Amino acid sequence: MRKVEYIITIKGTTNESVKIFPNAVIDLLNPKQDKITHRRFYNEEGNVKVDIDLTDHGHSKAHPIVPHAHDWGMAKDKGNSGH
């Protein structure tokens, strides 16, 4: 397991940062709910590695299990963004 270098909390509903500091973690704080709804982990090169979503994004059929993960490495192999 890699050492986490930075944990950043952003107020908002989206995180478009696909590249940042190596081994960073970004929490997305939804201001309307006043709770963290999304956590993004970055690899040793600062690229997105995995997203952990703490909601179903309003799509309970697609995401019946909460929390759930989106593995960007697996998605990249399939040619999409992970969602």
The token pair that represents 47 in the structure block: 């690229």
pLDDT in tens, 4-27: 766 888 888 787 788 988 999 999
Model-level pTM greater than 0.85? Answer: no
- Domain assignment present for residue 83? The answer is no
Q: What's residue 6's pLDDT? A: 67
Domain that holds residue 34: 6-78
- Domain assignment present for residue 1? The answer is no
Counted domains in the chain: 1
Q: What's residue 78's pLDDT? A: 47
- Domain assignment present for residue 26? The answer is yes
Distances (CA, A) of 24 to 38, 61, 78: 14, 31, 24
- Domain assignment present for residue 69? The answer is yes
Distance CA 52, CA 72 (A): 11
- Domain assignment present for residue 25? The answer is yes
Low-confidence ranges of the chain (pLDDT < 70): 1-2, 5-6, 74-83
Q: What's residue 49's pLDDT? A: 95
Q: How many helices (H) and strands (E) does the chain have?
A: 1, 5
Q: What's residue 25's pLDDT? A: 94
Owner of token pair 């703490």 = 54
